[in-house]
């Protein structure tokens, strides 16, 4: 059984929407159960859609993309699984084994759009400094466009050229390309922290960085606990400053 052109377009739009939604609005949030429901509506097979969505939901629990890390795109996996469960006529299980590799490609796509966004962000800031404020706002719309294009690309390829092609792409890509992109996705979040250290008085107050590091690295303390301790340190720092300022003021009066 083949899909109609309209169905293919709708499924690609779903892939774009859930990936935008997951990063912003958070209504469908690319949750497989919800995506499966949508695919069920589009393909006219609600039982398979819900079954595949439910299975992937339970698989994905606890897999959240935190702090800019990249995780398999279970939403896209659900779309592909639903589509191929229908076209192959071999049911949800076969669909899911085809869907998951396509979802895996989401990890690489995620790193790629984030790299493109760097250029957009720099250009926007350049416009800000040139006082071309409308241009600054307008170019930022490219960011969601990047997300929509990159994240729906695996779905578009799989639905138009067949999932075997996606699998073939994954097979042909040398391990150092896929592995390298995943590794870059793990290393690059460090760049933000490094930039932060440049903005802040890192050298002057090096000791506090050390305290935070020791608590996290050696004691595995959650960041909230560390922040509370940081608050205590900041309070002490503030009170000491305050006391010093008052003494200085009093001393000034005596000199008169």
Partner 1 sequence: MSKEPVLTKKDCVKGAIRWSLMAVTTFNYDTQLAPAVVFGIGPLLRKIYPDDDDYVEALNNHFKYFNTHPWAANLVFGATLALEDKEGISACDAVQNIKVSLMGPLAGIGDTLIWTLLPTIMGSIAGYMALEGNPVGVFLWLLTNLIFIGIRTQLMWIGYKEGTKLITKFGNRIAQITDAASVLGLTVVGALAATVVTAKTPLVFQMGEISMPLGDLLDKILPSMISVLAVWALYKLIGRKGMKVTTIILIVIVFSMICSALGILA
Contacts to partner 1 from residues 127-186, by CB under 8 A: 128-129, 131, 133, 136-137, 140, 143-144, 146-147, 175-177, 179-184, 186
Smallest gap from Cβ 44 to partner 1, in A, equals 14
Residue 238 engages partner 1 in binding (rule: CB under 8 A): yes
Contacts to partner 1 from residues 48-77, by CB under 8 A: 50-51, 53-55, 57-58, 60-62, 64-69
- Determine the interface stretch with partner 1 among 4-12, 30-38, 164-172, 247-255 (rule: CB under 8 A): 30-38
Smallest gap from Cβ 38 to partner 1, in A, equals 9
d(CA 194, CA 212): 15
d(CA 214, CA 211): 5
Residue 140 backbone dihedrals phi, psi, to 5 degrees: -65, -20
Q: Which is nearer to partner 1, 162 or 212 (CB)?
A: 212
Contacts to partner 1 from residues 215-234, by CB under 8 A: 215-218, 221-224, 226-231, 233-234
Nearest to 154 by CA among 233, 80, 239: 80
Smallest gap from Cβ 232 to partner 1, in A, equals 9
Q: Which is nearer to partner 1, 138 or 164 (CB)?
A: 138
d(CA 79, CA 11): 7
d(CA 171, CA 231): 51
Q: Which two tokens stand for residue 129?
A: 């400094």
Count, residues near partner 1 per rule CB under 8 A: 110
Q: Which two tokens stand for residue 202?
A: 């890192």
Smallest gap from Cβ 41 to partner 1, in A, equals 10
Q: Which is nearer to partner 1, 35 or 98 (CB)?
A: 35
Q: In angstroms, what is the C-alpha Rg of the chain?
A: 25
Nearest to 79 by CA among 106, 40, 24, 21: 40
Residue 247 engages partner 1 in binding (rule: CB under 8 A): no
Among the listed residues 85, 124, 159, 166, the single contact to partner 1 using CB under 8 A: 124
d(CA 12, CA 122): 30
């Amino acid at each position: 059984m083949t899909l109609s052109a309209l169905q293919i377009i709708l499924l690609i739009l779903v892939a774009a929407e859930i990936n935008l939604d997951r990063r912003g609005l958070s209504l469908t949030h690319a949750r497989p159960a919800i995506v499966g429901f949508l695919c069920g509506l589009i393909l006219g097979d609600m039982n398979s859609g819900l079954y595949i969505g439910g299975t992937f939901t339970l698989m994905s629990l606890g897999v959240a993309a935190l702090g800019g890390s990249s995780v398999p795109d279970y939403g896209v996996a659900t779309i592909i699984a639903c589509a191929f469960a229908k076209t192959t006529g071999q049911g949800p299980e076969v669909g899911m084994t085809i869907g998951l590799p396509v979802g895996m490609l989401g990890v690489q796509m995620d790193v790629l759009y984030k790299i493109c966004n760097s250029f957009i962000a720099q250009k926007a800031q350049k416009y800000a400094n040139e006082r071309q404020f409308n241009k600054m706002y307008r170019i930022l719309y490219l960011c969601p466009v990047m997300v929509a294009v990159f994240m729906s690309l695996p779905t578009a390829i799989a639905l138009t050229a067949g999932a075997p092609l996606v699998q073939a792409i994954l097979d042909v890509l040398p391990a150092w390309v896929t592995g390298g992109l995943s590794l870059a996705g793990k290393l690059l979040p460090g760049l933000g922290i490094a930039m932060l250290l440049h903005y802040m008085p890192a050298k002057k107050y090096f000791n506090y960085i050390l305290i935070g590091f020791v608590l996290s690295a050696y004691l595995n303390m959650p960041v909230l606990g560390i922040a509370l301790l940081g608050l205590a340190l900041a309070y002490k720092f503030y009170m000491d400053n305050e006391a010093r300022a008052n003494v200085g003021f009093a001393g000034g009066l005596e000199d008169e």
